[in-house]
Structure 1
Amino acid sequence: MNYYLTAAGCLSALAWLLHLGCIYYGAPWYRFFGAGEHMAVMAEKGLLQPTIITLVIFSVLSVWSLYAFSAAGIIVSMLLVRLALIVITSVYLLRGLAGFYFVTNPIGRSPEFWIWSSVICLLVGLLHLVGLKQQWPTL
């Protein structure tokens, strides 16, 4: 079992769980987690757009956690694990780095959201990177 990929998978799973919480609890959770006032207002109005967007994010994070668990040896091997982990790792790291640009240009979110979310994405990306490097020969 690879502890780095296990931790990365758990963090992705926590993220998808929090996204489900946003759908269930609505506007207060969208606001608290920094989704932006626009998303919160749409949720208050009962519009489907926040739910659909959040379900897409939930779905992506769910698959990402499964790939991390697969590469860690916790669940059955999934198709194209190497390629998937390269893409997942890259997306987390690029999102983490790019988010710091938005601290000065927050586009509807607070600078604090961009700082915290970027740090979290970088952490998860680095866990994936170290775990992927360790598991590479066995994937």
Structure 2
Amino acid sequence: MNSAGALALIAGGTLTAVAAVAHLACIGIGARAYRFMGAGERMARAAEAGKVRPTLVTLAIAAVLFAWAIYAFSGAGVIGSLPLTAFVLPAVGAVYLARAIGFPLLKPRFPENSTAFWLWSSGICLVLGLLFAVGSILGA
């Protein structure tokens, strides 16, 4: 049976992979998805105009999220061991938690993002950060 730490990492990795897929869906769906996800009117308009920046930014975010998910699965023992897993997992948890609690400092830098975006994304980051933290502390 999986330990509590492994289960936390499996949950964190799965939810992180879902977040990565949601970002990729924005690319496929376009401006409507950027607006729905609260990414801001500037990103939505750039997507509508066929600019490459929204796609590149979104691909970069999705790639990082997929990498984090793979590391979570490695830490849980679902896949083979990856290098630096013992360092990467707590670092990912710290990034998620910093993003969750740091949104009041970030919000002024991205005024086009909706309040709903900040609240939802920060809540999601809090949950993911806690899952990665618990998984890192308890281990597989």
State the TM-score bracket (shorter-chain normalisation).
over 0.9
- Return the letter of the residue paired with 1:55: L
Match of 1:94 in 2: 98
Distance in 2 of aligned mates of 1:15 and 1:100: 22
Match of 1:32 in 2: 36
- The 5 A counterparts of 1:5-16 are 5-16=9-20
**Out of 47, 70, 76, which is 1:72 matched to?**
76
Superposition deviation, residue 51 in structure 1: 0.3
Please, which runs of 5 or more residues in structure 2 have no aligned partner?
A: none
Establish whether residue 85 from structure 1 lines up as the match of residue 112 from structure 2: no
Residue aligned with 2:102, SS: helix
Superposition deviation, residue 102 in structure 1: 5.0
Distance in 1 of aligned mates of 2:13 and 2:93: 12
Match of 1:122 in 2: 126
Superposition deviation, residue 27 in structure 1: 0.3
Q: State percent identity of aligned pairs.
A: 44
- The 5 A counterparts of 1:45-60 are 45-60=49-64
Counterpart contact for 2:100–2:126, Cα < 8 Å? yes
- Return the letter of the residue paired with 2:119: I
Superposition deviation, residue 100 in structure 1: 3.9
Runs of 4+ with deviation above 6 angstroms? none
Counterpart contact for 1:9–1:69, Cα < 8 Å? yes
Please, which runs of 5 or more residues in structure 1 have no aligned partner?
A: none
Distance in 1 of aligned mates of 2:120 and 2:8: 21
Distance in 2 of aligned mates of 1:17 and 1:85: 20
Q: What TM-score, normalized by structure 1, do the two folds share?
A: 0.92
Counterpart contact for 2:30–2:44, Cα < 8 Å? yes
- Return the letter of the residue paired with 1:23: I
Q: Kindly tell me the number of residue pairs found equivalent between the two proteins.
A: 135
Distance in 2 of aligned mates of 1:99 and 1:67: 25
Distance in 2 of aligned mates of 1:20 and 1:102: 23
- Return the letter of the residue paired with 2:121: S
Distance in 1 of aligned mates of 2:62 and 2:49: 21
Q: Encode CA deviations 1:75-127: one digit per residue, 9 max, x unaligned.
A: 01100001111211110000000114456x46211112111111110000001
